[in-house]
Chain A
Amino acid sequence: MTTPTPAIDIHELRVDYGNFVAVNDLTLSVPAGEIFGLVGPNGAGKTSTLRVLATLQTPTYGSVKLSGIDIFEAPEEARRILGYMPDLAPVPSDMKVWEFLDFSCESFLGGGAAERKARWEECLEMVQLEDRKQAMCKSLSRGQTQRLVLARTLLHRPKVMILDEPASGMDPLSRRNLRLTLRELAAQGTAIFVSSHILSELSEMCTSLCVMNRGALLASGTADEVRSVLGRSERTLLIGVVTRREEAAAWLRNRPHVRSLECQAERISLAFAGSQDEQADLLESLFQEGFRVSVCEERKSSFEDILISVAEENQ
């Protein structure tokens, strides 16, 4: 059985600005139908990676293939299957919404006016901007501009979408719609490469993630896999003990892998660094000691925590 060609295949990519290494030998691949999130603090090399993928920048070296097309050998061919939404989504100041979309549609697809109109109307509907089609692009709000550029990105039904901060400036409803649209596109086989600072949303939206720092890949995989690689091994357990709370706290404090413990009004909060099995053993022992447990909640390291710790390491 042959391995399917990945939608995005990056091999030993390096981008330099003078002596500053923005991306350092990055290698990763994203299969079709995946929503892949790129996370990292400022200066991690995310935008440089995205600009190289979008054929807007030449790297120092490395190879990038989109659905098997080498983007440096055949950039025009790669652009046919590529949709790129830049950060801060610029729009031309002298065009109306429909003109901008029609121009983009013509640039990618050609075709007659009626066919183009049908296509851009369809995309405007997807981003819920039908009522603003006669407006000048510059008169749109920040969120509406983002949605317009997203519609532009969808026009030619790209196989690979590269989105740099797509949700910035959008209201919660628009964000939810964006999430649903991207999921629908992924279900149809489009590979989506997203960079965002809204990490909670990214973890909800993406099927896999990678974390970059100082141009290097720190971890990649599903959200849980990334957490387990980069998150501190300890996690917070919130245990509700109905009676003998002080006694239970004293007992727990002496258990292995318990790092710190705090006795709160209703619950005992403790940092636990053991494995899942050891966590199960701890809870079982707690029951066996006769403590009555009403609830036990596990809180893993959030992406914000991970990124903050990565950024702190940089400093």
Chain B
Amino acid sequence: MNEMASALIAAGPAPAWKLWRNPIFRRYCRTRLRPRALGVALLITVLVAGFAFAMSRTVAKSEMGRTWKQGPNQQFVMEYHEPKMSDVERVPFFFLLGIQGLIIFIIATGQVAGGMTADADEKTMDYVRLSPMTPLAKVLGYLFGLPIREWIMFAATLPFTAWSLWKGQVAAEYWVPLYAVVITAAVLYHLTGLTAGTVLKNRRWAFLVSMGGVFLLYSVVPQLGKFGLVYFDYLTIWPVITETAHGFMPETAGAAMKTAQNLMGKARFFNLDLPEAAFTIFSQLVWCVTFVVMLWRRWYRAESHLLGKAWATGMCVWIQIVLLGCSLPLVSSGQLFVSQRLGAMFRLGQRTLFNWSPSLPEAILTISIYGTVTLLVMVLLALLIAPAKETQELGSRRLAKLGAHRVSRLGDEASAVWFVAIMAIVGAAGWNMFAQKVIGSHWFPGQFLPAWTPWVFGLVLLTAGLTSVLLYELKGAKGLFLAVIFAGVVPILVSSVMAMADKNLSVASVWITSASPLLAPTNAVSTVIPDGLGDHGAIHLAGPRAFAFWQGMLTILTVWLLVLHRQERRSRQLPGAAQTSQVPGSKA
């Protein structure tokens, strides 16, 4: 052994927070920043950003100076005068922001997911798993290392942006919060990519899923905001852009936008006067921490569930709080309702001139969407924590060996049934509160929800949630998938065809469509507010009856599955001392 080698102090790898000494981060700094590849990437970035900057600035300069005036012969004459240069310089900013978003949100997220899967695909991830670095250091190394080239490309566009902000005299109070949110949003999307890359085995799928996820987040999810679930807007940068956009716009347009915003008013989280940027950053950081926890668990133990049972239940509670907190303040002003939100897009600032009020079907739609989203979130969280049959069997064998009585309730092998029940109760409470506030608002005088509403909502969520998790625990993912297709989707498709084919089949189609648990929240809301959909004779009567019948059937199915589940668990259990056991080395 030579002297230098002997001098190597085996102090172990650097701590997680020293990113610049993180071996994984440094590895990607080497491999992803090789001069040739980086040079090409920078050249393309600078060319595109430079072109967008120069072109938008030039066009703005020529267009903003033009004005049309009516001449003496009733003809319009174009006059050109030198525009205000600060206005001209502000124009390229939004084009540059678009390019930056493309680089840092879309390309980088795909790169993170693809790079992670590549490591798994080449089986070199085991080397990282074997290194004595902490799980957090591994997560941070991949998180900031994999997209390092894209961060450099992003940085290459910043001189153009800096010029635009400086010469455009944009105050720091506008661009600082915007870029803070751009960075937290980018980290959040990269974490989704990292999680997709860790969970999915196929490189191409990971790439597509993560990029599709970002696309959905910016196209589909914000649409939920129009239906009252405005919290989902805060997972994007739109709220901050909307709040600060007037500061980046040419003065006249910016002032108009500011006036419109003042007219529109803005309700904040539980009417607390939090700045949009602060609440957006906070919301995104909560999800960032959750994703880090998921990845931490996977690095600690490869077979772990992505979330622990307590954390998932906590997330369910948190989601209800933020959904309510962001939505309820919008009820009194009417901004919660889709007709006003869509209307506002077309007649910005003029809404007060119209005698607008929401309709009851609109309220039913909003409450139904709230219930459906609550149901989907609950099922998703439940499936993250439910043990597959194989996991339960391993747990039973371990118990038998140790002579223990039952697994830790928080352990991965324990059934998720109790936690799903808690989530259903929490979800029903939130859903009921939302419905009460909407129907009890000044928009719907004389309307009220019956006292049994929370019980109906609770039953809907409890039966759908428990059936999903019991099917998964008893029959596995395939069993659940088939049930979703045949019991959830097929009835909707069949009834849609029937309703379109013949008007006389409408009642039958209502009965068939009500069989789908996916529509149970909508049917429940229609049942508790029977006046909402108007009187359509037989159809009007069929809806609540079909809902009651199918909900009864689902309840019987849930009870039967619970009995089966209990029998199966008992058949696996051996008598032993009343002590608990966990997977060797596992953390609850």
A93 at the interface (CB under 8 A from B): yes
> Is the C-beta of B503 less than 8 angstroms from some C-beta in chain A?
no
Q: Are A109 and B8 in contact (CB under 8 A)?
A: yes
CB distance from A155 to the nearest CB of B (A): 10
Q: Mark A1-29, 1 if CB is under 8 A from B, else 0.
A: 00000000000101011110000000000
- Please measure, in the bound complex, the distance between the C-alpha atom of A52 and the C-alpha atom of B8, giving whole angstroms: 29
Q: Does A228 contact B (CB under 8 A)?
A: no
The interface size of chain B toward A, counting residues with CB under 8 Å, comes to 49
Q: Which of A61, A76, A110, A119 contacts B397 (CB 8 A)?
A: A61
B26:A90 contact, CB within 8 angstroms: no
A182 contacts partner chain B, Cβ-Cβ < 8 Å: no
Task: Check B122–A122 contact: CB distance below 8 A.
Answer: no
- CA A70 – CA B585 in complex, angstroms? 9
Bound-state Cα–Cα, A19 to B389, Å: 11
- Asked whether B77 is an interface residue with its Cβ less than 8 Å from the other chain, the reply is no
A111 touches B31 (CB 8 A): no
Shortest Cβ distance from B119 into A: residue: A92
Which residues from A are CB-within-8-Å of B398?
Answer: 60-61
CB-contact partner of A56 in B1, B8, B300, B302, under 8 A? B302
Residue A75 at the B interface, CB < 8 A? yes
Q: Give the residue of A12, A62, A71, A152 whose beta carbon is less than 8 angstroms from that of B127.
A: A152
Question: How far is B584's CA from A106's CA once the two chains are assembled, in angstroms?
Answer: 29
What is the CA–CA distance of A116 and B126 in the complex, to the nearest angstrom? 21
Q: Are A58 and B585 in contact (CB under 8 A)?
A: yes
B84 at the interface (CB under 8 A from A): no
Chain A residues near B12 (CB-CB < 8 A): 80, 108-110
8 Å CB interface, B564-586 against A = 583-586
CA–CA, A116 and B584, complex, Å: 34
Central interface residue in B2, B5, B7, B402, by most chain A CB within 10 Å: B5
- Contact pick for A57, options B7, B9, B13, B302, CB 8 Å: B302
Is the CB of B123 closer than 8 A to any CB of chain A?
yes
Interface-lining segment among B128-136, B191-199, B354-362, B373-381: B128-136
**Complex contacts, A76 vs chain B, CB 8 Å:** 132-134
Interfacial chain A residues near B252, Cβ < 8 Å: none
Closest B residue by C-beta to A104: B127
Contact assessment for A58 and B301 in the assembled complex, using a CB-CB cutoff below 8 Å = yes
* Contact between chains at A82 and B584 (CB < 8 Å): no
What is the distance, in angstroms, from B584's C-beta to the closest C-beta of chain A?
A: 3
Chain A residue at smallest Cβ distance from B3? A118
Select B303's contact among A16, A58, A104, beta carbons within 8 Å. Answer: A58
Shortest CB-to-CB span from B5 to chain A, Å, is 4
For the complex formed, measure the closest distance between the CB of B149 and the CB atoms of chain A, giving whole angstroms: 12
B397 touches A14 (CB 8 A): yes
Nearest Cβ on chain A to B297's Cβ, whole angstroms = 13
Min distance, Cβ B38 to any Cβ of chain A, angstroms: 14
Interface string of B118-151 (1 = CB under 8 A from A): 1100111011111111100000000000000000
- For B21, the closest partner residue in chain A by CB is A110
**With A56-B126, A61-B584, A118-B4 known to touch, is A106 a contact of B393 (CB < 8 Å)?**
no
B27 interface residue per 8 A CB criterion: yes
Contact assessment for A94 and B31 in the assembled complex, using a CB-CB cutoff below 8 Å:
yes
CB <8 Å contact, B402 and A61: yes
Q: Any chain A CB within 8 A of the CB of B30?
A: yes
User: Chain A residues with Cβ under 8 A from B130's Cβ?
Assistant: 54-56, 79, 82, 84
The answer, yes or no, to whether B11 is at the interface (CB within 8 Å) is yes
Which residues on B sit within 8 Å (CB–CB) of A16?
Answer: 393-394, 397
Which listed residue (B1, B133, B584) contacts A122, Cβ 8 A?
B1
- A61 to B301, alpha carbons, bound, how many Å? 15
A73 adjacent to B124 (CB under 8 Å): no
Q: Check if B585 sits within 8 Å of A122, measured CB to CB.
A: no
Q: Report the bound CA distance from A269 to B13 in whole Å.
A: 62
Q: Report the nearest B residue to A91, measured CB to CB.
A: B124
Known contacts A107-B128, A107-B133, A122-B1; A99 and B14 CB within 8 A of each other: no
What is the CA–CA distance of A152 and B128 in the complex, to the nearest angstrom?
A: 12
Tell me, in angstroms, the Cα distance from A28 to B303 when the chains sit together.
25
Specify which chain A residues have a CB less than 8 angstroms from the CB of B345 in the assembled complex: none
Q: How large is the interface on A (under 10, 10 to 19, 20 to 34, 35 or more residues)?
A: 35 or more
**Is B390 an interface residue when CB atoms closer than 8 A count as contact?**
yes
CB closest chain-A residue, reference B303? A58
**Interface: A115 (CB within 8 A):** yes
- C-beta contact mask, B364-397 vs A, less than 8 Å → 1, else 0? 0000000000000000000000000010011001
Interface flag for B401 (CB, 8 Å) = yes
Distance in angstroms between the alpha carbons of A111 and B13 in the assembled complex: 8
A173 at interface by CB-CB < 8 Å: no
Question: How far apart are A148's CB and chain B's nearest CB, in angstroms?
Answer: 12
Verify if B451 is at the interface (C-beta below 8 Å from A).
no
Q: Mark B300-331, 1 if CB is under 8 A from A, else 0.
A: 11110000000000000000000000000000
Contact with A86, one of B123, B584, B585 (Cβ below 8 angstroms): B123
In the assembled complex, the Cα of A80 lies from the Cα of B130 at a distance in Å of 9
A72: CB under 8 A from chain B?
yes
CB-CB nearest in chain B for A71 = B585
Contact B4 A18 (CB under 8 A): no
Closest to A86 in B: B126
Q: Considering only CB atoms, which chain B residue lies closest to A21 in the complex? A: B397
A281 neighbours in B (Cβ, 8 Å): none
B10 at the interface (CB under 8 A from A): yes
**CB-nearest residue of chain B to A118:** B4
Q: Which residues of B contact A249 (CB under 8 A)?
A: none
- When the two chains form their complex, are residues B390 and A72 in contact, meaning their CB atoms are under 8 A apart? no
Let me know if A183 is at the binding interface, CB within 8 A: no
Considering only residues 90-129 of chain A, those with a C-beta below 8 Å from chain B are 90-95, 99, 103-104, 106-111, 114-119, 122
Residues of chain B contacted by A57 (CB below 8 angstroms): 302-303
Contacts of B101 in A (CB 8 A): none
Is A166 in the interface zone, CB < 8 Å from B? no
Residue A171 lies at the interface, judged by CB distance under 8 Å to chain B: no
Which chain B residues border A122 with CB–CB below 8 Å? 1-2, 5
Check if B23 is an interface residue, CB within 8 A of chain A. Answer: yes
Chain A residues whose C-beta falls within 8 Å of the C-beta of B134 in the assembled complex: 76
Please, which residue of chain A has its CB at the minimum distance from the CB of B400? A61
**CB of B312, distance to nearest CB on chain A (Å):** 21
Chain A residues whose C-beta falls within 8 Å of the C-beta of B133 in the assembled complex = 76, 107
Q: In the complex, how many angstroms separate the beta carbon of B131 from the nearest chain A beta carbon?
A: 4
Complex Cα–Cα for A232 and B390 (A): 40
Q: Which chain B positions have C-beta within 8 A of A108?
A: 10, 12-13, 131-132
* A168 sits at the interface (CB 8 A): no
What is the chain B residue whose CB lies nearest that of A84? B130
Answer yes or no: A236 CB below 8 A from chain B CBs: no
Q: Is the CB of A92 within 8 A of B124?
A: yes
Q: Which residues of A contact B390 (CB under 8 A)?
A: 17-18
Give which listed residue, A61, A71, A79, A90, contacts B131 with CB less than 8 A. A79
Q: Is A201 an interface residue (CB 8 A)?
A: no
Q: How far is the CA of A283 from the CA of B361 in the complex (A)?
A: 106
B113 to chain A, nearest CB (A): 16
Most chain B Cβ neighbours within 10 Å, of A12, A63, A80, A82: A80
How far is the CB of B339 from the nearest CB of chain A, in Å?
53
For the complex, what is the distance from the CA of A95 to the CA of B28, rounded to whole Å? Answer: 9
Q: Does A111 lie within 8 Å of B8, measured CB to CB?
A: yes
Interface pair A59/B127, CB less than 8 Å apart = no
Q: A18-B390, A95-B27, A108-B131 are in contact. Are A58 and B583 (CB under 8 A)?
A: yes
Residues of chain A whose beta carbon lies under 8 Å from any beta carbon of chain B:
12, 14, 16-19, 54-63, 70-73, 75-77, 79-80, 82, 84, 86, 88, 90-95, 99, 103-104, 106-111, 114-119, 122, 152, 156-157
**Interfacial residues, chain B to chain A (CB-CB below 8 A):** 1-5, 7-14, 21, 23-24, 26-27, 30-31, 118-119, 122-124, 126-134, 300-303, 390, 393-394, 397-398, 401-402, 583-586
21 inter-chain pairs at a CB distance below 8 angstroms, sorted by A residue, are: A14-B397, A16-B393, A54-B130, A56-B129, A56-B130, A58-B302, A60-B397, A70-B585, A76-B133, A79-B130, A82-B130, A93-B118, A93-B122, A94-B31, A95-B27, A103-B23, A107-B127, A107-B133, A110-B12, A114-B4, A122-B2
- Going nearest first, the 7 A-B pairs with the smallest beta carbon separation are A118-B4, A72-B585, A72-B584, A107-B131, A106-B23, A90-B123, A115-B8
Beyond A90-B122, A157-B10, 5 extra complex contacts between A and B, CB < 8 Å: A16-B394, A18-B393, A107-B127, A110-B14, A156-B10
